[in-house]
Chain A
């Protein structure tokens, strides 16, 4: 089906050139990386730009680096690259795990993680892993750099706090001082293409702390400070998990849609929370598959 909307296309080869284009065209432009969301949205007539700025020529956005106490993931790093990256496996295993559940290999070969959090569809797979790791989103404009904690990044379904003249260069994930292990759970009808009807990310620390984030059970993915406090006070054990599942009823607000009813989502959020807590706990006992220092 041909696309009935017309727009211009530019492919800048330096970050400076890209920022200048963005500055000039602002809200009338859109950035294009893997394009798996952008092409669909434009085809549907949603957020059709006057100018499409293809950033795939910006080599400096392709790197995965471990420096200055953080793991840096460039804006052009695709989910297939995340799956093949040892630094990501070592320092943010939950992201490696979630990346393997994004759509299908044919989409992962092109889709980027930063694109995922910029499209910000409530069911995105990258959000919960980044939230439990307290990741930072690095934005650039001609005016300079702005760093946003991922917990403040999402504003609404499909809406982030990015400015019209900003571009995300990379995401950084602080390396943990304390030994920790994560686990990601995604509720879907089948593997290979389905969007998450709900997802849960958990990061457990050797000192008893526990980070918990949910996706697809509200307009934006979120950490749950109430549950984190609960687990810090009571530990993670069968009783505290039962209690946490009761608390969930008040903490998340899933909706009913074509993929699942709100009752089913609510129930499964509890089941997945339990599974993720147990999996992360088991991983915490293992010498490998661990983020943070030994």
Chain B
């Protein structure tokens, strides 16, 4: 067991982990952060996405020990003070059905918009690619992100 400490949604947290523990599972079962989901456990679906030091990454492919000293943002942090404008836009457009892909979609779009407030449709598609949605066919999600980037 190793003691690691990192910033989780703005709060300094410490936890004991063994080297074979995957970040996704530590977040869900040891830290009580349930928005990242397990979909494929192999980097293919995006459901486990978290923002690590500003970048959207797959928490199912990261050992928890690796994030010692780093900073993680999940949906819980993003919406700590109520829904973000991005989430609001997705809600208004009824962009999700079951919502399983939502955390990955939202964080991927969040990373894009943080770096580029007015992306093209191509850039939006690129940013959310690798987040598999089995319900919507993607278009409502793309439309919702687009509506937000045009409003500003």
Contact = CB atoms under 8 A, between A and B. Distances in A.
Interface of A: 1-3, 5-9, 11, 32, 35-36, 39-40, 42-43, 52, 54, 56, 80, 103-107, 109-110, 191-193
B62 A5 contact: no
A43 B20 CA distance: 9
Interface of B: 2, 18-22, 25, 38, 41-46, 49, 55-58, 60-63, 65-66, 68, 104, 108, 111, 126-127, 129-132
A54 B56 CA distance: 20
B41 A1 contact: yes
Contacts of A105: 56, 108, 111, 126-127, 129-130
B65 A9 contact: yes
Contacts of B38: 1
B129 A36 contact: no
A107 B60 CA distance: 11
B3 to A, nearest CB: 13
Contacts of A9: 2, 19, 63, 65
Given A80-B55, A104-B129, A106-B108, A35 B22 contact: no
Contacts of A104: 46, 129-131
B62 A35 contact: yes
B126 to A, nearest CB: 7
If over half of A's interface residues share one DSSP class (helix, strand or loop), that class is named, otherwise mixed; here it is loop
Contacts, number: 94
Nearest to B68: A11
B127 to A, nearest CB: 6
A107 B129 contact: no
Nearest to B62: A35
B131 to A, nearest CB: 8
Contact of B63 (A35, A103, A192): A35
Given A105-B108, A105-B127, A110 B61 contact: yes
A36 B22 contact: no
A214 to B, nearest CB: 25
Given A3-B20, A56-B66, A193-B44, 15 more contacts: A1-B38, A6-B19, A36-B58, A40-B43, A43-B22, A54-B65, A54-B66, A103-B130, A104-B129, A106-B57, A110-B57, A110-B61, A191-B129, A193-B45, A193-B130
Given A52-B19, A105-B127, A110 B58 contact: yes
Contact of B43 (A1, A3, A36): A36
